Amino acid sequence: MNRLDFESDVLVIGGGFGGAVAALRAAELGQSVTLVEKAVVSRAGPSTYVHSQYAPDKKVEGEELEAWMDEFVVGANYMADQDWVEQYILEAYDRTQEMIKLGVPYAKDAEGNLRYVSVRGHKLGTTLGVDGRACMEVLRRRMKAKRVKLVEKVAVIELLTSDNKYPTNGSIVGAVGVHIRTGQPHVFKAKSVILNSGPFYPKIHYAFGDHCTGEIHAAAWRAGAEFAGMEFATFAAWSNFNNKFFTPGQAKIQGVGAHFKNASGERFMEKYDPIWGELSGLFQIARAIITENIEGRGPCYLDLRHVSEEDIKVLYEVSPSVERAFNEFKIDPSKDTLELGPFVVIGTLSSSGPNIGLNAETSIPGLYATGYGTSCPHLMSGISGSGISTFSMVGGHRAAEHAKKRSDELQIPSINEGRVDEILTAYFKPMKKLRQVRSSDIWMEIGEITSTAEFALFKTEKRIKHVINQLKTLREERIPKIFAPDMHELEKAHEVKNYLDMAILACFAMLERTESRGELFRVDYPYQDNDNWLKWLLVKKVDGEEDPVFTHHDLDYDKWRIKPPTGRLPSPYPVPERFAEEK
């Protein structure tokens, strides 16, 4: 099949908020821009389902800025890069003001004023309700008007490096993609590449993330990008209601003052998270519910009966899917409670992926990343999705500006044709032979290995090592047997393979961090160790090494204003007897 070739100053991979903002900013700066998206821009990824965006209602400064920053730094368990937090809060204002000017339909009150509201994770910082899909439609139209070239239904399968090495010692010069239905190869040459590929989750039909399985994470990893925060790669949720249906908008539901109760009507969150209580993060709530269930106090319920009619109206307005789902299942929140269905999987929350600097630059020249698909400088660990969408825009804007400076000094790079052929041949391999394993079988096996209480919630060295071995066996013995009869199955085959690579990497990082912090809880180290672990774990693929190689990066607390408590802080999280460490 004929190959399609594209050349541009900037290539953006992934068309969510960050990718769109990056593409628009680069175009505004006079760059030629191509944006490639596996689905269709405005019908893809978590951006489409966002219900609110972190949006300061003013340019905060001085002591107030410090108080707003404090919220992030504490929320991120002192892992946040405070320089990033500061620029994030300041520029979040600029970016959302731009969105307002572009005509994004944010939620307004009866008088027509923007309605700034609070959301899980923030007591000071404000957010604006918005339908993510409507926002992305505005950005899509804008990109078309600014002559950004949109290449859709094309999945990027590998990045191209200047020295043809993986991991590279050079720079990124483009990417190879295939059309998801026809398999038509697409080759992109660019001076700079900006990744906005979203999170990685297993395919569990949840959080609308089934097409975000870590392909670009894995491609960046193979190319040699340095990753950070992989030990916190745990995604959890609680809104699988009545074991039957789910709605997005968990942060909004918490925001209107939801109560979490066990079978005897006790509000239990205070016990598990004395600081945030019922406004706690998804993982903290999910593990509390599971622990209540394990200890025989379940099932647990979501109770909105005390919430005023006015607040429920607001909830429905900003999260129409909540209203639709409640209607479909005949739930009246003023009368009914909902049984909570929690789960915990290996996946990104908002702090696991390529490590980026203040300009969204990765460790490889010419490669930028923003949004969920980065370590988010550990900015929003445990904080809601509304934060990540604005972070993505701030990062995208910065990446575009930095890429522009870079591109002034460069020519469109040349690429190695032989390497492109090799990449495509390797990609199409599972189609060539009749084998027996389906990718969906492997997802179930991943679930069986990783979604046990002892691994997901009560980690020990032994349990993590056991999971690594099982996942490696899966990768070595089952993945090569996957059979893909058509393009659709081929894409799925690569999705599960890439997810598995990222899951194994996450397990290695969980093993390396010998303390408990945020989404990582270890029974054998049940304390936050601020003497030894105010550090990031950086990890890279090293030539000739089978396992990932870690370095420990001390955080800049000599310079930063917000100081952490010192010493070992015991985790308040109770461990049921049967999950205590085996001797």
Partner 1 sequence: MIEHIDLDLCDGCNVCIESCPTDVIRLVEDGYPWEVKGWKVVVAYPNECHSCRLCAIDCHVDAITVTHELHIPAPFLDYQRT
Residues that bind partner 1 (CB under 8 A): 39-40, 43-45, 48-49, 133, 153, 180-181, 202-206, 208-211, 240, 244-247, 290, 293-294, 321, 324-325, 328-329, 341, 343-345, 440, 443-448, 451-454, 456-457, 488, 578-579
Sign of CA dihedral 368, 373, 374, 378: positive
502 CB-side CA count, 13 A? 36
**Residue 333: CA atoms inside 13 Å, Cβ hemisphere, count?**
25
Give the integer Cα–Cα distance in Å for 443 and 446.
Answer: 5
Distance from C-alpha of 425 to C-alpha of 403, rounded to nearest angstrom: 31
**Can you spell out the DSSP letters for 34-66?**
EEEESS-TTSSTGGGG--EEE--SS---HHHHH
Q: Are 232 and 350 in contact (CB under 8 A)?
A: no
Q: How far is CA 552 from the centre of its chain?
A: 22
Closest CA to 233 of 397, 315, 353, 387: 353
Q: How far is the CB of 427 from partner 1 (least distance, A)?
A: 17
69 vs 282 by CB, closer to partner 1:
282
Query: Residue 355 CB, nearest distance to partner 1 (Å)?
Result: 28
Kindly state the smallest distance separating residue 150's Cβ from partner 1, in Å.
13
Q: Which is nearer to partner 1, 59 or 488 (CB)?
A: 488
Helix (H) or strand (E) holding 73: helix 62-75
**CB-based contact 14:196 (threshold 8 Å):** yes
- Looking at the Cβ atoms of 360 and 457, the one nearer to partner 1 is 457
Rounded to the nearest whole angstrom, what is the least distance from the CB of residue 198 to partner 1 in the complex?
11
Enumerate residues 6+ apart whose C-beta is below 8 A from 362.
195, 220, 225, 226, 354, 355, 356, 368, 369
Inter-helix orientation angle 439-450/487-512, to 10°: 20
Q: Which is nearer to partner 1, 46 or 229 (CB)?
A: 46
Our CB check for partner 1 shows the closer of 290 and 539 to be 290
Name which of 135 and 446 has its Cβ closer to partner 1.
Answer: 446
200 to each of 204, 260, 499, how far by Cα in Å? 11, 28, 7
CB of 91 to partner 1, least distance (A): 29
Tell me if 236 sits within 8 A of 383, measured CB to CB.
no
Nearer to partner 1, 97 or 440 (CB): 440
Q: Compute the least distance from the CB of residue 211 to partner 1, in Å.
A: 5
Considering the complex, state which of residue 166 and residue 483 has its C-beta at the smaller distance from partner 1.
Answer: 483
427: nearest Cα among 487, 474, 476: 487
261: Cα separation from own chain's centroid? 28
CB of 176 to partner 1, least distance (A): 20
Q: Which is nearer to partner 1, 406 or 492 (CB)?
A: 492
Nearer to partner 1 (CB atom), residue 319 or residue 363: 319
Q: Which amino acid is at 508?
A: F
Min separation Cβ 317 and partner 1, Å: 17
363, 468 contact by CB (below 8 A): no
Closest approach, Cβ 50 to partner 1, in A, equals 13
Decide whether 324 or 561 has the Cβ nearer to partner 1: 324
Identify which of residues 88 and 301 has a Cβ nearer to partner 1 in the complex: 301
CA distances from 284 to 387, 423, 440 (A): 18, 41, 29
Smallest gap from Cβ 121 to partner 1, in A, equals 24
Cis status of the peptide bond prior to 167, with omega within 30 of 0: yes
Nearer to partner 1, 77 or 213 (CB): 213
Find the shortest distance in angstroms from Cβ 428 to partner 1: 18
Query: Least distance to partner 1 from the beta carbon of 248, Å?
Result: 9
Question: What type of residue sits at position 530?
Answer: N
The residue assigned the tokens 């999910």 is 286
**CA dist., res. 359 & res. 401, Å (int):** 8
Lookup: tokens for 420: 């492109």
Calpha distance 124→5 (Å, rounded): 48
> What tokens appear for 49 in the block?
């389902």
Helix (H, G, I), strand (E, B) or coil at 384: coil
Residue 297 C-beta: closest distance to partner 1, Å = 14
